[in-house]
Amino acid sequence: MTESTFPNTRMRRLRQSVFIRDLVQEQRLHCSDLVWPLFVCEGENTTEDIASMPDVKRYSVDRIVEKAKTATDLNIPAIALFPKTPDQLKDAAGSEALNDQNLVCKAVRAVKAAFPDLGIICDVALDPYTNHGHDGVLNDQGRIENERTVDKLVEQARVLAAAGCDIIAPSDMMDGRVGAIRSMLESDGYPNMIILSYAVKYASAFYGPFRDAVGAGRKLGSDSKKTYQMNPANSDEALREVALDIAEGADMVMVKPGMPYLDIIRRVTDSTSLPCLAYQVSGEYAMTQAAVQAGWLDKRAVVFESMMAFKRAGASGILTYFAPYIADFLNQK
Ligand code: PBG
């Protein structure tokens, strides 16, 4: 393709007014691109603040149902639920994850009863349930044991499927868990359950506020989650992770965090035809909110610009704590 040069070509011709800019715009953001992550806490009629995530709250199950109504009213197609498990229910094995009366299961059933058409995504990982904050079970040396963890994740997925969620999202980064969960779903009568694999999840410092939100603490040890989550220096490895999860039966994949990893979203979407979601994580949210609160950034402009970045990189959907803020604005327009 050869471009003629100046003055035959003047790039500014197509930027000179609103109508022409709109006409040639390459990407558009819709409410249907958004997934809203929500935190569930114990109690009734309860709302709790999260210090490191201004304006994001934890809600008791009855209030989560109200938020599900908000999502429906705003045309947000799906929510993702994360529990803040009370400390006394946490143990080294994350047993509460397998309790079909746990907070997430209660929330799934309540939301499904009230709003059956709203999509519900549930995380599969043990970190909201373990007293050490890791996503799996530890051996005597303090290492995460892969197969023992996968066995638990399969049980966790079974409980979540029975509660009625629409999408199972393994976020633990154990090897072989997508295949193990898929074969359980097939044999247990859930052939249509969607698996959204957090296939490319980096060992990131941008998850800090989320760990406050679910009470997972920040006391993970010097390796933190580096023995299972990906090294931020790697990119080819992301394609191996995605290829494996596809082979094991994932329907969609996720890249996480979001904005610092746009190059990875692009590489994944160029090399596969599966839908790829982006997660604008808690630390990205916290940075934005902090700068907005200080008066240093224009909230609406930066939030929408960040959404366009994800669309441009090829994401087919975005998990973002800004979802209701964005959808509200899109619906008014
Ligand atoms: C659980 C999980 C995490 C996030 C989503 N699922 C935290 C982690 O892996 O430490 C982070 C989401 C966010 O930061 O917004 N494994």
Q: How far is the CA of 302 from the centre of ligand 1 (A)?
A: 23
Q: Is the pLDDT of residue 1 over 90?
A: no
Residue-wise pLDDT tens digits, 140-154: 988 899 999 999 999
Question: β-strands 57-59, 47-49: how paired?
Answer: antiparallel
Tokens of 285: 């949210």
Q: Is the pLDDT of residue 81 over 90?
A: yes
User: Is the entire prediction scored with pTM above 0.95?
Assistant: yes
Ligand 1 pocket mutation pick from 81, 104, 127 by most atoms within 8 angstroms of CB: 127
Q: Which atom of ligand 1 is nearest to the CA of 171?
A: 16
Confidence of residue 288 (pLDDT cuts 50, 70, 90): very high
Q: How far is the CA of 32 from the centre of ligand 1 (A)?
A: 23
Q: How far is the CA of 202 from the centre of ligand 1 (A)?
A: 10
Ligand 1 pocket mutation pick from 81, 126, 144, 207 by most atoms within 8 angstroms of CB: 207
Range with lowest mean pLDDT among 155-164, 209-218, 299-308: 209-218
Task: Judge whether 57 counts as a catalytic residue.
Answer: no
Give the mean model confidence (pLDDT) for residues 218-226: 77
Catalytic residue (choose from 112, 201, 225, 311): 201
Q: How far is the CA of 7 from the centre of ligand 1 (A)?
A: 51
Give the mean model confidence (pLDDT) for residues 233-260: 98
CA distance 212 to 206: 12
Confidence of residue 218 (pLDDT cuts 50, 70, 90): low
Please give the pLDDT value at position 221. 72
Give the mean model confidence (pLDDT) for residues 58-85: 98
Give the mean model confidence (pLDDT) for residues 147-164: 98
Please give the pLDDT value at position 7. 95
Task: Judge whether 201 counts as a catalytic residue.
Answer: yes
Catalytic residue (choose from 90, 106, 256, 311): 256
Q: Is the pLDDT of residue 180 over 90?
A: yes
Q: Does ligand 1 lie within 6 Å of residue 127's CB atom?
A: yes
User: Cα angle at 320 between 324 and 19, to 5 degrees?
Assistant: 70
Please give the pLDDT value at position 253. 98
Confidence of residue 2 (pLDDT cuts 50, 70, 90): confident
Q: Which atom of ligand 1 is nearest to the CA of 281?
A: 15
Q: Mean pLDDT over all residues of the chain?
A: 96
CA distance 251 to 272: 11
Residue-wise pLDDT tens digits, 98-121: 999 999 999 999 999 999 999 999
